[in-house]
Amino acid sequence: MSQDDDSLCNSAYQYFKCAKPLDFSYRNLVSLEGIRHSQELPIPIFLNGNEKPLPLRVRGAPKKSSKSNRYRTGSFWLNKNYLKNVNGLRNLADRLFEMADYLSWLDLSDNNLTTISDEFLLFPNLSMLYLHKNNIHDVVDAYKLRNLKKLRTLTLHKNPMCGTPCYRSTVIHFLPNIRKLDNVVVVRSEREQERKTLDKDVRVRLTNAYPEDFPCTLVSSKMR
């Protein structure tokens, strides 16, 4: 790819990142299967009849492409629903967004999610992920987010996982690129201390879940 092509890609990415969000919050959705698609139409049909995004909270809906009729934005709000999982999220994004790979902000706060889905890993430019006020129990779930190299802001507060001993330092340990966790900036002293505070039970679960990253023979020496 030439330098001019790189510049065009960066310019397009910034446009999508700064565009108004696609807002489907407060829709009483219990799953993404509550959205169905016609083969002829790229825009979703909601089973409850609310097929349009909410424009008032963000002073208008994002623009659509004249060619594809898909939304030109990198922000997707699905908060304040009753979602138990996000199965099919990437497929949905491909139908909704002009450039699903440019999705940078995803808000799934205040739902009924119980795990951190692998679906999030399908969005390489995701930099802001809101998952607070859900029902996620295992802090080890957060470890998979290390594969999102551009993730800088993450919210997990008001999930059962937050009761894990040394919860904050554990998540910081998992995600060395994170800059803000639960709306609080990560400071240098937290980076320095995080390796010393990993809970023993978390170590065991982490090793079992990711044996390729944490061989049993190395866990105690690396994470004590």
- DSSP helix/strand/coil, 196: helix
With 0.75 as the threshold, say if the pTM is over it. Answer: yes
Write out pLDDT tens, residues 30-40: 988 766 543 33
- Give the amino acid at 48: N
Residue 221 lies in a domain: no
pLDDT per position as a tens digit, 34-68:
665 433 334 444 544 444 555 445 556 788 878 88
CA angle at 124 for the pair 123 and 130, rounded to the nearest 5°: 55
Residue 128 lies in a domain: yes
| The one-letter amino acid at 165 | P
Confirm whether 40 is domain-assigned.
yes
| Residue 133 resides in a domain | yes
| 156 within domain boundaries | yes
Which position has the token pair 């009849």? 49
The total of structural domains in the chain comes to: 1
Q: What pLDDT is recorded for position 10? A: 63
Q: Is residue 167 part of a domain?
A: yes
100: domain CATH number is: 3.80.10.10
189 domain residue, yes or no: yes
Question: 220 in a domain, yes or no?
Answer: no
Contact 142, 167 (CB under 8 A): no
| Domain membership of residue 37 as a residue range | 14-213
